[in-house]
Amino acid sequence: MLAGKRILLIVGGGIAAFKSLDLIRRLRERGATVTPVLTKASEEFVTPLSTSALAGQKVYRDLFDLTDEAEMGHIELSRAANLVVVAPATADLMAKMTAGLANDLASTLLMATDKRVLIAPAMNVRMWEHPATQRNLATLQGDGILTVGPDVGDMACGEHGPGRMSEPLAIVDAVEAALADGPLKGKHVLVTSGPTHEPIDPVRYIANRSSGAQGTAIARSLAALGADVTFITGPADVSPPSGVKVVKVQTAREMKDAVDAALPADAAVFAAAVADWRVENASGSKMKKDGSGKAPALEFAENPDILAGVSQLKKGRPKLVVGFAAETDDVEANATAKRKRKGCDWIVANDVSPETGIMGGSENAVSVISDQGTEVWPRLSKDQVAAKLAKRIAGALA
Ligand code: C5P
């Protein structure tokens, strides 16, 4: 429910703007107040009259509208909301946000706000996949901008692929997650997830089979309980959840830097399958067969143990540090020893032997090991494990 919540809805100029009219209705159905802002381009797709009629509010359109400044200045407008939503977020608006431009009302509000911002990108598939847009997306996610979508599907321009704006109800879900008033409200939790890629040369790398599904589900569940989540992910198969701050990394060392930068945190969950070793003599150019039949010798160096490092921090240690132990033999004994060795509070242990289908699968069978002993959980979906773990974390931080 969104009763009493105020949403500032910036409508970008794309064909998906028509869906924003339905989004206004859906948000209002749940009790939110929606203040719409139209860009010049969006007025080519929706009219101020229809937007205002559906919102039951005045529509804001012009930065230099003196009446508006007399009634409510742009700074106040940007801060009176609980959440700023940009739907559709066009490639142009995303680029403006990335660059910090403030040359119209929408971009100025986005610069001036002190509230969280959720964007629902929508554009042609090639524009979405363009390196510039992907670069901008990574920057925005790193800045803490929340994202929902885009979806994959047929597009108004006749092409097919990612770029469709999420459906209004999915955007409403992301709004609810971003504004969740749960037991973790006000708590900052960082989550690592996915595999790491350790380069051998510019085109080859060492990786593992982690899909990132469990870490992603945990981040989503923590956000649903109201946590402010920083989600640090290696190159995973699954998309990051909406409503969290996403930091994308490749290597273990990048993951460590991202974790250090994200601290302090009230709790930290290390669900990533971090490579223990990196190739010390990685080549700067592509390695080639030299015809001698001799294979190159890779030398390995140990990666920093991120979990152990954070667990053993003398200053600024999160109150709760949770590690994972993916084992193939003697799961409980190994995980119990790992908890002691690393110094974390809980270890979530699971058996990743190929016959369990857990690594890369949708289910997990875990035991949670703490100083209170071992709690064996039944085999559950990864979403259920995440929800149960998030609840346990909320209990520990209460
Ligand atoms: O030692 P092992 O890799 O089995 O430990 C697994 C746990 O430690 C996981 O929580 C994983 O995210 C974390 N880890 C880490 N940094 C590493 C290796 C593992 O944070 N270099």
Query: For residue 69, what pLDDT is reported?
Result: 58
Q: Is 7 in contact with 27 (CB distance < 8 Å)?
A: yes
Q: How far is the CA of 128 from the centre of ligand 1 (A)?
A: 34
In eight-state DSSP terms, residue 271 is: -
Query: For residue 356, what pLDDT is reported?
Result: 82
Tell me the CA end-to-end span of the chain in Å, nearest whole number.
23
Tens-level pLDDT at each residue, the chain (398 residues): 899 999 999 999 999 999 999 999 999 999 999 999 999 999 999 999 999 999 999 999 987 774 555 666 778 888 889 999 999 999 999 999 999 999 999 999 999 998 889 999 999 999 999 999 999 998 888 788 889 999 998 877 788 889 999 999 999 999 998 888 789 989 999 999 999 999 999 999 999 988 999 999 999 999 888 899 999 999 999 988 877 889 999 999 999 999 999 999 999 999 999 999 999 999 999 999 888 888 889 999 999 999 999 999 999 999 999 999 988 888 899 999 999 999 999 999 988 888 888 777 788 889 999 999 999 998 888 888 998 999 999 999 99
Pocket test for ligand 1, best of 232, 270, 320, 389 (most atoms within 8 A of CB): 270
What is the Cα–Cα distance from 394 to 398, expressed in whole angstroms?
Answer: 6
- The answer to whether 296 is a known ligand-binding residue is no
Q: How far is the CA of 89 from the centre of ligand 1 (A)?
A: 37
Tell me if 324 CB under 6 Å of ligand 1.
yes
Residue type, 314: K
Domain ranges of the chain: 6-178, 188-283+293-397
Q: Do 6-178 and 188-283+293-397 share a fold?
A: yes
Q: What does the DSSP assignment read for 107-145?
A: HHHHHH--SEEEEEE---HHHHHSHHHHHHHHHHHHTT-
Question: Rounded to whole angstroms, what are the CA distances from 352 to 225, 337, 356, 357, 366?
Answer: 28, 18, 6, 7, 10
Of the candidates 302, 362, 352, 356, the one whose C-alpha atom is nearest the C-alpha of residue 327 is 352
Q: How far is the CA of 306 from the centre of ligand 1 (A)?
A: 7
Tell me if 252 CB under 6 Å of ligand 1.
yes
CATH 3.40.50.1950 for the 6-178 domain, yes or no: yes
Q: Is 208 in contact with 273 (CB distance < 8 Å)?
A: yes
Q: Quick count: other Cβ atoms within 10 Å of Cβ 240?
A: 24
Query: For residue 72, what pLDDT is reported?
Result: 65
Tell me if 221 CB under 6 Å of ligand 1.
no
- The answer to whether 289 is a known ligand-binding residue is no
Q: Supply the CATH classification number for the domain 188-283+293-397.
A: 3.40.50.10300
**Helices and strands, number each (H, E), in the chain:** 14, 21
Pocket test for ligand 1, best of 274, 351, 359 (most atoms within 8 A of CB): 274
